[in-house]
Structure 1
Amino acid sequence: MTILLLTLSEALADSWRTALGRERCWRVTDAATLAGTLQGEQLVLVDLALPGIEAANWPALCRQGRVIAMSSDPDSREGLRWLQQGAAGYAHAYSTADLLQQIVSTVETGSSWVGRDLLALLCGQLGSKLPDSGLEAWRERVTAREAEVITALKRGMANKDIARELDIAERTVKAHLSSLFHKFGVDDRLQLLLKLA
Protein backbone atom coordinates (compact mmCIF):
# COMPACT_ATOMS: atom_id res chain seq x y z
CA MET A 1 0.00 0.00 0.00
CA THR A 2 1.15 3.55 -0.75
CA ILE A 3 2.40 5.65 2.14
CA LEU A 4 1.61 9.35 1.90
CA LEU A 5 4.27 11.77 3.10
CA LEU A 6 2.90 15.17 4.09
CA THR A 7 5.88 17.52 4.13
CA LEU A 8 7.34 20.50 2.30
CA SER A 9 10.86 19.28 2.99
CA GLU A 10 12.26 17.36 0.04
CA ALA A 11 15.19 16.24 2.21
CA LEU A 12 12.85 14.80 4.86
CA ALA A 13 10.64 13.16 2.24
CA ASP A 14 13.73 11.65 0.62
CA SER A 15 14.91 10.30 3.99
CA TRP A 16 11.50 8.69 4.59
CA ARG A 17 11.43 7.28 1.03
CA THR A 18 14.89 5.77 1.46
CA ALA A 19 13.86 4.08 4.71
CA LEU A 20 10.44 2.87 3.55
CA GLY A 21 10.96 2.21 -0.14
CA ARG A 22 10.68 4.79 -2.89
CA GLU A 23 8.01 2.81 -4.74
CA ARG A 24 5.73 2.85 -1.68
CA CYS A 25 5.90 6.57 -0.87
CA TRP A 26 4.11 9.49 -2.43
CA ARG A 27 4.65 13.05 -1.23
CA VAL A 28 1.87 15.59 -0.74
CA THR A 29 2.50 19.15 0.37
CA ASP A 30 -0.74 20.28 2.00
CA ALA A 31 -3.62 18.91 4.07
CA ALA A 32 -6.22 19.64 1.38
CA THR A 33 -4.37 17.44 -1.13
CA LEU A 34 -3.98 14.82 1.57
CA ALA A 35 -7.72 14.80 2.28
CA GLY A 36 -8.49 14.37 -1.43
CA THR A 37 -5.93 11.59 -1.86
CA LEU A 38 -6.38 9.56 1.32
CA GLN A 39 -8.00 6.15 0.85
CA GLY A 40 -9.24 3.76 3.53
CA GLU A 41 -6.68 2.86 6.17
CA GLN A 42 -3.81 4.37 4.19
CA LEU A 43 -0.73 5.31 6.19
CA VAL A 44 0.33 8.96 6.40
CA LEU A 45 3.53 10.43 7.84
CA VAL A 46 2.87 14.04 8.81
CA ASP A 47 5.72 16.52 9.22
CA LEU A 48 4.61 18.66 12.17
CA ALA A 49 6.98 21.44 11.03
CA LEU A 50 4.68 22.06 8.05
CA PRO A 51 3.35 25.65 8.22
CA GLY A 52 -0.33 25.81 9.20
CA ILE A 53 -0.42 22.15 10.22
CA GLU A 54 -2.82 22.81 13.10
CA ALA A 55 -5.43 24.36 10.80
CA ALA A 56 -6.44 21.04 9.21
CA ASN A 57 -9.28 18.90 10.53
CA TRP A 58 -7.01 16.22 11.99
CA PRO A 59 -9.69 14.23 13.84
CA ALA A 60 -11.44 13.66 10.48
CA LEU A 61 -8.18 12.91 8.66
CA CYS A 62 -7.15 10.47 11.41
CA ARG A 63 -10.47 8.63 10.98
CA GLN A 64 -9.82 8.48 7.24
CA GLY A 65 -6.28 7.09 7.47
CA ARG A 66 -3.55 5.90 9.84
CA VAL A 67 -1.70 9.12 10.71
CA ILE A 68 1.74 9.13 12.29
CA ALA A 69 2.64 12.60 13.57
CA MET A 70 6.38 13.18 13.01
CA SER A 71 8.00 15.91 15.09
CA SER A 72 11.50 17.31 14.67
CA ASP A 73 11.37 18.29 18.35
CA PRO A 74 9.25 15.64 20.11
CA ASP A 75 7.42 16.68 23.25
CA SER A 76 5.12 14.45 25.31
CA ARG A 77 2.39 17.11 25.52
CA GLU A 78 2.43 17.55 21.73
CA GLY A 79 2.34 13.77 21.29
CA LEU A 80 -0.60 13.45 23.66
CA ARG A 81 -2.45 16.17 21.76
CA TRP A 82 -1.97 14.29 18.46
CA LEU A 83 -3.05 10.98 19.96
CA GLN A 84 -6.17 12.67 21.33
CA GLN A 85 -6.94 13.84 17.79
CA GLY A 86 -6.76 10.23 16.62
CA ALA A 87 -3.18 9.83 15.38
CA ALA A 88 -2.01 6.21 15.34
CA GLY A 89 1.51 7.22 16.28
CA TYR A 90 3.88 9.96 17.33
CA ALA A 91 7.61 9.80 16.64
CA HIS A 92 10.75 11.78 15.84
CA ALA A 93 10.75 13.00 12.23
CA TYR A 94 14.42 12.10 11.88
CA SER A 95 14.21 8.57 13.28
CA THR A 96 16.76 6.10 11.94
CA ALA A 97 15.71 3.98 8.97
CA ASP A 98 15.42 0.87 11.15
CA LEU A 99 13.26 2.65 13.71
CA LEU A 100 11.09 4.25 11.04
CA GLN A 101 10.50 0.83 9.47
CA GLN A 102 9.52 -0.53 12.90
CA ILE A 103 7.16 2.40 13.52
CA VAL A 104 5.44 1.94 10.15
CA SER A 105 5.24 -1.83 10.55
CA THR A 106 3.66 -1.45 13.98
CA VAL A 107 1.05 1.05 12.77
CA GLU A 108 0.31 -1.00 9.62
CA THR A 109 -0.68 -3.96 11.83
CA GLY A 110 -3.29 -1.81 13.55
CA SER A 111 -1.27 -0.98 16.66
CA SER A 112 -0.19 2.44 17.85
CA TRP A 113 3.32 3.81 18.23
CA VAL A 114 4.41 6.09 21.04
CA GLY A 115 7.86 6.68 22.48
CA ARG A 116 8.93 5.70 25.97
CA ASP A 117 8.39 9.14 27.55
CA LEU A 118 4.94 9.54 26.05
CA LEU A 119 3.99 6.00 27.09
CA ALA A 120 5.04 6.78 30.67
CA LEU A 121 2.94 9.97 30.58
CA LEU A 122 -0.09 8.07 29.25
CA CYS A 123 0.29 5.30 31.83
CA GLY A 124 0.68 7.84 34.63
CA GLN A 125 -2.40 9.78 33.54
CA LEU A 126 -4.49 6.66 33.13
CA GLY A 127 -3.13 5.09 36.31
CA SER A 128 -3.98 8.17 38.36
CA LYS A 129 -7.60 7.79 37.26
CA LEU A 130 -7.83 4.12 38.22
CA PRO A 131 -9.42 3.61 41.60
CA ASP A 132 -7.34 1.58 44.04
CA SER A 133 -10.43 -0.47 44.79
CA GLY A 134 -10.44 -1.66 41.16
CA LEU A 135 -7.35 -3.66 42.02
CA GLU A 136 -9.42 -5.91 44.29
CA ALA A 137 -11.52 -7.23 41.39
CA TRP A 138 -8.52 -8.99 39.85
CA ARG A 139 -6.05 -9.24 42.73
CA GLU A 140 -6.63 -12.99 42.98
CA ARG A 141 -5.27 -13.40 39.43
CA VAL A 142 -1.89 -11.83 40.20
CA THR A 143 0.99 -12.49 42.56
CA ALA A 144 1.91 -10.00 45.27
CA ARG A 145 4.96 -8.89 43.24
CA GLU A 146 2.84 -8.47 40.07
CA ALA A 147 0.47 -6.27 42.08
CA GLU A 148 3.46 -4.12 43.09
CA VAL A 149 4.49 -3.86 39.42
CA ILE A 150 0.96 -2.76 38.50
CA THR A 151 1.00 -0.13 41.23
CA ALA A 152 4.27 1.22 39.80
CA LEU A 153 2.82 1.15 36.26
CA LYS A 154 -0.10 3.23 37.47
CA ARG A 155 2.43 5.90 38.42
CA GLY A 156 3.93 5.82 34.90
CA MET A 157 7.24 4.32 35.97
CA ALA A 158 9.70 2.80 33.48
CA ASN A 159 11.06 -0.74 33.92
CA LYS A 160 14.39 0.41 35.35
CA ASP A 161 12.64 2.63 37.90
CA ILE A 162 10.31 -0.19 38.91
CA ALA A 163 13.32 -2.49 39.32
CA ARG A 164 15.08 0.07 41.49
CA GLU A 165 12.01 0.68 43.64
CA LEU A 166 11.23 -3.02 44.13
CA ASP A 167 14.92 -3.93 44.48
CA ILE A 168 14.78 -6.51 41.69
CA ALA A 169 16.51 -6.88 38.32
CA GLU A 170 15.06 -5.12 35.28
CA ARG A 171 14.76 -8.50 33.52
CA THR A 172 12.59 -9.65 36.47
CA VAL A 173 10.31 -6.65 35.92
CA LYS A 174 10.06 -7.64 32.25
CA ALA A 175 9.21 -11.22 33.29
CA HIS A 176 6.43 -9.96 35.59
CA LEU A 177 5.09 -7.74 32.81
CA SER A 178 5.12 -10.63 30.32
CA SER A 179 3.21 -12.75 32.82
CA LEU A 180 0.66 -9.97 33.37
CA PHE A 181 0.24 -9.40 29.62
CA HIS A 182 -0.41 -13.12 29.16
CA LYS A 183 -2.87 -13.34 32.09
CA PHE A 184 -4.93 -10.42 30.84
CA GLY A 185 -4.58 -11.03 27.09
CA VAL A 186 -2.87 -7.73 26.26
CA ASP A 187 0.30 -6.72 24.40
CA ASP A 188 1.62 -3.76 26.38
CA ARG A 189 1.44 -1.81 29.63
CA LEU A 190 -1.06 0.76 28.37
CA GLN A 191 -3.45 -2.00 27.24
CA LEU A 192 -3.00 -3.63 30.65
CA LEU A 193 -4.00 -0.47 32.48
CA LEU A 194 -6.97 0.01 30.15
CA LYS A 195 -8.05 -3.58 30.83
CA LEU A 196 -7.77 -3.06 34.57
CA ALA A 197 -9.83 0.12 34.31
Structure 2
Amino acid sequence: MNVLMVDDHVMFLQGIKNLLSVLVPELRVETAGDIAHAAQLVQATDFDLVLLDWHLNATDGAESIRLLRETGCTARVVVLSGETSAALIRQSVELGAAGFIPKMYSSEMMVAALRHVLAGRIFLPSETSQAHWEEVAPAVDPRVAGLTARQMDVYRAAARGLPNKLIARQLNIAESTVKAHLTAVYGALGVRNRTEAAYQASREGLRID
Protein backbone atom coordinates (compact mmCIF):
# COMPACT_ATOMS: atom_id res chain seq x y z
CA MET A 1 0.00 0.00 0.00
CA ASN A 2 1.29 3.46 -0.96
CA VAL A 3 0.55 6.24 1.53
CA LEU A 4 1.16 9.96 1.10
CA MET A 5 1.23 12.24 4.14
CA VAL A 6 0.82 15.99 3.55
CA ASP A 7 1.57 18.22 6.53
CA ASP A 8 3.67 21.35 7.07
CA HIS A 9 4.44 20.48 10.70
CA VAL A 10 7.62 18.42 10.50
CA MET A 11 7.39 16.94 13.99
CA PHE A 12 3.81 15.74 13.50
CA LEU A 13 4.65 14.42 10.05
CA GLN A 14 7.56 12.39 11.39
CA GLY A 15 5.51 11.14 14.34
CA ILE A 16 2.74 9.79 12.08
CA LYS A 17 5.30 8.26 9.75
CA ASN A 18 6.88 6.46 12.70
CA LEU A 19 3.46 5.20 13.83
CA LEU A 20 2.71 3.86 10.37
CA SER A 21 6.09 2.14 10.15
CA VAL A 22 5.24 0.30 13.38
CA LEU A 23 1.64 -0.53 12.40
CA VAL A 24 2.41 -1.80 8.91
CA PRO A 25 6.17 -2.07 8.23
CA GLU A 26 5.61 -2.95 4.58
CA LEU A 27 3.83 0.36 3.85
CA ARG A 28 5.54 2.65 1.37
CA VAL A 29 5.21 6.12 2.89
CA GLU A 30 5.96 9.38 1.06
CA THR A 31 5.74 12.82 2.66
CA ALA A 32 5.09 16.35 1.40
CA GLY A 33 5.16 19.65 3.23
CA ASP A 34 2.80 21.48 0.88
CA ILE A 35 0.06 20.73 -1.62
CA ALA A 36 2.16 21.66 -4.67
CA HIS A 37 4.70 18.95 -3.81
CA ALA A 38 1.87 16.54 -3.04
CA ALA A 39 0.31 17.17 -6.47
CA GLN A 40 3.63 16.34 -8.12
CA LEU A 41 3.91 13.10 -6.15
CA VAL A 42 0.38 11.88 -6.97
CA GLN A 43 1.05 12.43 -10.67
CA ALA A 44 4.11 10.18 -10.45
CA THR A 45 2.77 7.49 -8.09
CA ASP A 46 -0.56 5.70 -7.59
CA PHE A 47 -1.28 6.22 -3.91
CA ASP A 48 -3.91 4.20 -2.02
CA LEU A 49 -4.26 6.67 0.84
CA VAL A 50 -3.53 10.36 1.41
CA LEU A 51 -3.37 11.70 4.97
CA LEU A 52 -3.95 15.43 4.55
CA ASP A 53 -3.49 18.23 7.06
CA TRP A 54 -6.49 20.54 6.66
CA HIS A 55 -4.61 23.72 7.61
CA LEU A 56 -1.56 23.92 5.35
CA ASN A 57 0.37 27.19 5.18
CA ALA A 58 -0.45 27.99 1.57
CA THR A 59 -3.95 26.53 1.30
CA ASP A 60 -6.86 25.05 3.22
CA GLY A 61 -8.29 21.56 3.03
CA ALA A 62 -11.00 22.43 0.53
CA GLU A 63 -8.50 23.77 -1.99
CA SER A 64 -6.07 20.91 -1.27
CA ILE A 65 -8.69 18.22 -1.97
CA ARG A 66 -9.78 20.00 -5.14
CA LEU A 67 -6.19 20.20 -6.41
CA LEU A 68 -5.55 16.52 -5.65
CA ARG A 69 -8.67 15.43 -7.54
CA GLU A 70 -7.81 17.69 -10.48
CA THR A 71 -4.51 15.82 -10.85
CA GLY A 72 -6.54 12.60 -11.19
CA CYS A 73 -5.76 11.32 -7.70
CA THR A 74 -8.18 8.48 -6.86
CA ALA A 75 -6.70 7.67 -3.45
CA ARG A 76 -8.74 7.79 -0.28
CA VAL A 77 -8.15 11.20 1.30
CA VAL A 78 -8.33 11.28 5.10
CA VAL A 79 -8.19 14.70 6.76
CA LEU A 80 -6.15 15.31 9.90
CA SER A 81 -6.84 18.51 11.81
CA GLY A 82 -6.39 20.18 15.16
CA GLU A 83 -9.83 21.72 14.65
CA THR A 84 -12.66 19.27 15.28
CA SER A 85 -15.87 21.26 14.92
CA ALA A 86 -18.91 19.43 13.61
CA ALA A 87 -19.07 21.94 10.74
CA LEU A 88 -15.50 21.18 9.63
CA ILE A 89 -15.99 17.41 9.83
CA ARG A 90 -19.14 17.67 7.71
CA GLN A 91 -17.44 20.03 5.24
CA SER A 92 -14.58 17.55 4.85
CA VAL A 93 -16.98 14.75 3.99
CA GLU A 94 -18.97 16.97 1.63
CA LEU A 95 -15.73 17.78 -0.19
CA GLY A 96 -14.95 14.11 -0.63
CA ALA A 97 -12.78 13.19 2.35
CA ALA A 98 -13.06 9.49 3.20
CA GLY A 99 -12.35 10.10 6.85
CA PHE A 100 -11.40 12.64 9.51
CA ILE A 101 -8.89 12.11 12.34
CA PRO A 102 -8.44 14.79 15.04
CA LYS A 103 -4.82 15.69 15.75
CA MET A 104 -5.65 16.11 19.42
CA TYR A 105 -5.98 12.34 19.85
CA SER A 106 -3.68 10.52 22.22
CA SER A 107 -1.17 8.15 20.64
CA GLU A 108 -3.42 5.19 21.49
CA MET A 109 -6.47 6.81 19.89
CA MET A 110 -4.44 7.86 16.85
CA VAL A 111 -3.20 4.30 16.40
CA ALA A 112 -6.76 2.97 16.67
CA ALA A 113 -8.01 5.49 14.09
CA LEU A 114 -5.13 4.75 11.72
CA ARG A 115 -5.75 0.99 12.03
CA HIS A 116 -9.38 1.63 11.10
CA VAL A 117 -8.34 3.61 8.02
CA LEU A 118 -5.61 1.17 6.97
CA ALA A 119 -8.19 -1.64 7.16
CA GLY A 120 -10.02 0.14 4.34
CA ARG A 121 -12.82 1.63 6.42
CA ILE A 122 -13.99 5.19 7.00
CA PHE A 123 -13.10 6.78 10.33
CA LEU A 124 -15.18 9.73 11.53
CA PRO A 125 -15.30 11.06 15.09
CA SER A 126 -18.62 12.04 16.60
CA GLU A 127 -19.89 15.44 15.46
CA THR A 128 -19.17 16.83 18.91
CA SER A 129 -16.00 16.64 20.96
CA GLN A 130 -15.35 13.16 22.31
CA ALA A 131 -13.06 12.13 25.12
CA HIS A 132 -12.36 8.70 23.76
CA TRP A 133 -13.05 6.37 20.85
CA GLU A 134 -12.88 2.64 20.54
CA GLU A 135 -13.49 0.41 17.57
CA VAL A 136 -16.66 -1.63 17.62
CA ALA A 137 -17.28 -4.49 15.22
CA PRO A 138 -20.17 -3.38 12.98
CA ALA A 139 -23.26 -5.39 12.35
CA VAL A 140 -24.05 -6.29 8.74
CA ASP A 141 -26.86 -4.08 7.46
CA PRO A 142 -29.28 -5.95 5.17
CA ARG A 143 -29.70 -2.79 3.09
CA VAL A 144 -26.04 -2.96 2.11
CA ALA A 145 -26.27 -6.70 1.54
CA GLY A 146 -29.13 -6.08 -0.90
CA LEU A 147 -27.12 -3.81 -3.21
CA THR A 148 -25.77 -5.21 -6.46
CA ALA A 149 -22.02 -5.64 -6.95
CA ARG A 150 -21.88 -2.65 -9.31
CA GLN A 151 -23.89 -0.48 -6.92
CA MET A 152 -21.44 -1.39 -4.16
CA ASP A 153 -18.53 -0.46 -6.44
CA VAL A 154 -20.09 2.95 -7.01
CA TYR A 155 -20.95 3.32 -3.30
CA ARG A 156 -17.36 2.57 -2.28
CA ALA A 157 -15.97 4.98 -4.84
CA ALA A 158 -18.35 7.75 -3.73
CA ALA A 159 -17.53 7.06 -0.07
CA ARG A 160 -13.85 7.44 -0.96
CA GLY A 161 -14.71 10.93 -2.13
CA LEU A 162 -14.38 10.47 -5.88
CA PRO A 163 -16.48 12.80 -8.07
CA ASN A 164 -18.85 11.17 -10.55
CA LYS A 165 -16.52 11.83 -13.48
CA LEU A 166 -13.63 9.93 -11.83
CA ILE A 167 -15.95 7.11 -10.75
CA ALA A 168 -17.15 6.72 -14.33
CA ARG A 169 -13.57 6.67 -15.63
CA GLN A 170 -12.41 4.19 -12.99
CA LEU A 171 -15.31 1.78 -13.52
CA ASN A 172 -15.48 2.32 -17.29
CA ILE A 173 -19.15 3.29 -17.25
CA ALA A 174 -21.08 6.39 -18.29
CA GLU A 175 -21.41 9.27 -15.84
CA SER A 176 -25.20 9.01 -16.18
CA THR A 177 -24.92 5.37 -15.06
CA VAL A 178 -22.96 6.46 -12.00
CA LYS A 179 -25.74 8.91 -11.10
CA ALA A 180 -28.38 6.20 -11.57
CA HIS A 181 -26.47 3.77 -9.34
CA LEU A 182 -26.02 6.44 -6.66
CA THR A 183 -29.74 7.19 -6.73
CA ALA A 184 -30.43 3.49 -6.18
CA VAL A 185 -27.86 3.32 -3.38
CA TYR A 186 -29.27 6.37 -1.60
CA GLY A 187 -32.76 4.94 -1.87
CA ALA A 188 -31.69 1.57 -0.45
CA LEU A 189 -29.82 3.19 2.45
CA GLY A 190 -32.48 5.77 3.17
CA VAL A 191 -30.11 8.71 2.73
CA ARG A 192 -30.31 11.82 0.55
CA ASN A 193 -26.75 12.42 -0.63
CA ARG A 194 -23.16 11.19 -0.56
CA THR A 195 -22.44 13.04 2.70
CA GLU A 196 -25.09 11.03 4.53
CA ALA A 197 -23.90 7.91 2.69
CA ALA A 198 -20.34 8.48 3.96
CA TYR A 199 -21.59 8.76 7.55
CA GLN A 200 -23.55 5.57 6.99
CA ALA A 201 -20.40 3.85 5.72
CA SER A 202 -18.52 5.03 8.81
CA ARG A 203 -21.17 3.69 11.18
CA GLU A 204 -21.37 0.35 9.38
CA GLY A 205 -17.62 -0.11 9.04
CA LEU A 206 -17.88 -0.47 5.26
CA ARG A 207 -14.57 -1.26 3.55
CA ILE A 208 -13.93 1.25 0.77
CA ASP A 209 -10.55 0.08 -0.55
Of structures 1 and 2, the one with the larger relative CO (CA 8 A, separation 6+) is 2
Q: CA deviation at 1:104?
A: 3.0
Q: 1:3, CA displacement in angstroms?
A: 2.0
Match of 1:26 in 2: 30
Counterpart selection for 1:50 from 53, 56, 59: 56
TM-score when scaled to structure 2? 0.52
The answer as to 2:194 corresponding to 1:184 is no
Q: Which has the larger radius of gyration?
A: 1
The separation in 1 between residues aligned to 2:93 and 2:6, in whole angstroms, is 17
> Alpha-carbon deviation of 1:21?
1.1
* Contact 1:70/1:92 (8 A) holds in 2: yes
Instruction: Structure 2 unaligned segments of length 5 or more: list them.
Output: 129-135, 146-184, 192-209
Q: 1:193: how far off?
A: 9.3
Amino acid at match of 2:33: T
What TM-score does the superposition give when structure 1 sets the normalisation length? 0.55
- The whole-number CA distance in structure 1 between the counterparts of 2:111 and 2:187 is 27
- Residue 60 of structure 1 deviates from its aligned partner by 5.2
Matches of residues 45-194 of structure 1 in structure 2 within 5 Å? Answer: 45-54=51-60, 56-59=63-66, 61=68, 63-117=73-127, 178=139, 181-185=140-144
Is the Cα–Cα contact under 8 Å of residues 47 and 93 in structure 1 kept in the other structure? no
* Partner Cα separation in structure 1 for residue 63 and residue 76 of structure 2: 15
The verdict on how the C-alpha distance between 1:15 and 1:192 changes in structure 2, with shifts beyond 3 A counting, is farther
Could you tell me the percent identity over the aligned residues?
Answer: 16
Task: Give the superposition deviation at 1:109.
Answer: 4.1
Give the superposition deviation at 1:31: 0.9
**Cα distance change on mapping 1:103 and 1:117 into 2, 3 Å:** same
Unpaired runs of at least 5, structure 1: 119-173
Q: 1:26 to 1:7 in 2, by over 3 A?
A: same
Query: 2: distance between equivalents of 1:6 and 1:60?
Result: 13
- CA 1:182–1:45 in structure 2 vs 1: closer, same or farther (change >3 Å)? closer
Q: Match for 1:196 among 172, 184, 190?
A: 190
